[in-house]
Structure 1
Amino acid sequence: MRTFGVEEEFLLVDGRDGRPRASASAVLGVAGERSGGRVAAELKLEQVEVETDPCKSLDELAAQIRAARCRMAASAHAMGVEIAALGTSPLPVDASLTPSRRYERMAERFGLTIHEQLTCGCHVHVAVDSDEEGVAVLDRIRPWLAPLLAMSANSPFWQGRDSKYASFRSQVWARQPSAGPTEPFGSARAYQETVRAMIDSDVLLDPGMIYFDARLSDRYPTVEVRVSDVCLHADDAVLVAAVCRALVETAVREWRVGRPVWQIRTELLRLAMWRAGRSGLETELIDPRRFRPAPAVAVLDALLAHVRPALEDAGEQAVVGDLRAELVRRGTGSRIQRAAYARAGRLEDVVADVVRRTVA
């Protein structure tokens, strides 16, 4: 089986009033002394990142995700704050840049885009054998990335207001000049030439700013799928990761038998991603098979049907089916956040509910 792993970003919030706190340095200092996966600073001092080790099974990945969340939560609590699996902060915040020459250069170049960039995502890494195989995957998974965003949608509030989006993080992130879907590349050489041209343009600082919806990792021999919000529930992160691995395996199998790349205009992919960020799983998504509106659950099931052989071969079909059923029954993080606000009428209570669920 292909190994896979997950990076999750979390907000650091005050346990009393729910507001983000610039405590990353202290929290990471404590977390770094504990055993487990990698922990790292992010763009803002109000957030932290945890990363699993490469895993072979869903059980192993689920255990690592939960352990990493609990370890980071304990480290944060020791420093007087809590971690919250929030794609954006429901409460107003003027976030603090993490001290770093690279981040300072980004802030100088991109201005308000970086100043307001306090968002938390979930990135899934899936192993590939070569860059050529990886690019074959990137070219073939393009139509199916928007449903992944819908499954993970967990950022309905922005600066104290309901954004009317299920994932407003996706809107904020789209301001980045390299973010979004890509045209098919056709070869590893074409991919690398595109990246080099983007760096040589002197818009991006370095390859780390290649923010495609899915890319070749510049650190690991993996395809990195980057569209998802950080999931409120650990089970949803496991589901997203399982589907990502199955998408990669399905794409490789198509490539090996010479099945051609599905030629879909990038403009249409942008519309599908916008629809997913706006609706989540609540109403309709764009069905990538014919690019017409369809019930969100039907599109989710079409995605699972597309990757079913890979899931069956991995022995994961039943588990993924159960996780899918629970997600549809319970709803995404955006639905749960709005329900918490409807009950209490206070965004502080929304954050408190998220803090409890993050490590539940």
Structure 2
Amino acid sequence: MNRPSTSSTHDQVRTVGVEEELLLVDAETGVPRSVASEVLRVARRRGDTEVDDGEAGGSVGPELQQQQVETDTPPAEHLGLLELELRRWRDKARAAATEVGALILASGTTLLPARTQTFDDERYAAITEQFGLTATEQLTCGCHVHVSVDSDEEAVAALDRIRVWLPVLLAISANSPFWHGEESGYESFRSQAMTRWPTNGPTEIFGSAQAYHDHLRLLVDTGVPLDEGMAYFDARPSRSFPTLEVRVADVCLDPSDTALVAALSRALVETAARNWAQGRLADPASVAVLRLAMWQAGRHGITGDLLDPQTHRPKPARDVVERLVEHVGPALRDSGDLARVEDGIDRVFTRGTGSTAQRRIHSEEGRLDRTVLRLAELT
């Protein structure tokens, strides 16, 4: 791969923005409701669906199903500001949903059984026709973190170097233990549901932007994915913005956890870019091994062992998370995020992830519908 000289550095703190997919549920029963079109009409009337001044981020928009919406934040350098924006746009989505008798729910999967309805969009309709039950049962919500990059080459170089660490982000964000009325046995069942898409998962090492784009064209030319937007990789260079999009996380119940995932994502990209500039090679781990690491993270989250990203052997989750912090420590210090990240990790290991909260509340309530309504209050 062509790379900059070792003197080349990213002079400013990288910006980071977040897309959150949110469920729309009935305010009385907690059942997912197909009201996205109505919610977006309200949001449009309130001025919350258009991007201001042509800048990226800051809107409520549609997703594949009528039972969900997506929010996105403007790019920010400071994580405190990012968390404020996350809360602000959740509140805007909540206000619009309230007007049509719905609530928003930050859960990686639907807790209650639901019959999905595809959002009225030509591309979404084509996806549903092509992929059948995989699409119609796909009522999942993720968190996508966009980290700014200087070039396409830097984006692919970072992609090659962060892929072994991405299962750790899934473990920290795990927030989907239930699936259509059933206890899944997973901390993140969303990560399992996503594997049904043929383009989901970890990527090989590309070595150059040209090789990455050649790979995308090959996939689309097979006729299976409709377009490059269906490259549901664990991370990918954005088609619309100069960012690397980290896509593995469940949507988090607590926006503070979202900010933690964003801070770690930015530090991973910055660390990877520095290593590339210094000529350090990417870990050659196979896609097969990375799929096992992702499965382990989805199954156990932070409650058991994770696969160590450097040895690919099981280790206690806390040890693996601390190894991630050590790996990106210089980048966290340079961005001023180290203390926030350390506090956030202590918080997650003390009170658990969103999946911990979902199971705890379900144990208290004894019913999934009441669980949904309490989780919507927390959202």
Structures share a fold, TM > 0.5? yes
Q: Distance in 1 between matches of 2:69 and 2:79?
A: 24
The within-5 A match list for 1:1-360 is 1-34=13-46, 37-358=58-379
How far is 1:306 from its partner? 0.7
Q: Deviations over 1:78-97 (max 9, x none)?
A: 11100000111111101111
Which stretch has the larger CA shift, 316-325 or 40-49? 316-325
Gaps in structure 2 of 5+ consecutive residues: 1-12, 49-57
SS in 1 for 2:61: strand
Q: Distance in 1 between matches of 2:159 and 2:151?
A: 12
Q: Deviations over 1:35-83 (max 9, x none)?
A: 5611110000000000001111101101100111111111111111000
Gaps in structure 1 of 5+ consecutive residues: none
Q: Distance in 1 between matches of 2:128 and 2:93?
A: 27
Q: Distance in 2 between matches of 1:104 and 1:31?
A: 23
Q: Deviations over 1:303-325 (max 9, x none)?
A: 11111100001111111111111
SS in 2 for 1:298: helix
How far is 1:34 from its partner? 3.2
Q: Deviations over 1:177-198 (max 9, x none)?
A: 1000011000000000000111
Q: Deviations over 1:253-281 (max 9, x none)?
A: 00001111111111100000000000111
Q: Deviations over 1:78-119 (max 9, x none)?
A: 111000001111111011111112111111111110010110
TM-score, structure 2 as length reference: 0.93
Quick one: which amino acid aligns to residue 96 of structure 2? S
SS in 2 for 1:32: helix
Q: Deviations over 1:111-147 (max 9, x none)?
A: 1100101100000000101110000000000110001
Q: Deviations over 1:177-226 (max 9, x none)?
A: 10000110000000000001111111111111011100011111110000
Quick one: which amino acid aligns to residue 281 of structure 1? I
How far is 1:32 from its partner? 2.5
Q: Distance in 2 between matches of 1:188 and 1:194?
A: 10
Q: 4+ residue stretches of structure 1 with deviation over 4 A? A: none
Q: Distance in 1 between matches of 2:173 and 2:371?
A: 17
Q: Distance in 1 between matches of 2:212 and 2:132?
A: 28
TM-score, structure 1 as length reference: 0.98
Q: Distance in 2 between matches of 1:105 and 1:58?
A: 38
Aligned sequence identity (%): 52
How far is 1:160 from its partner? 0.7
How far is 1:18 from its partner? 0.8
Aligned length: 358
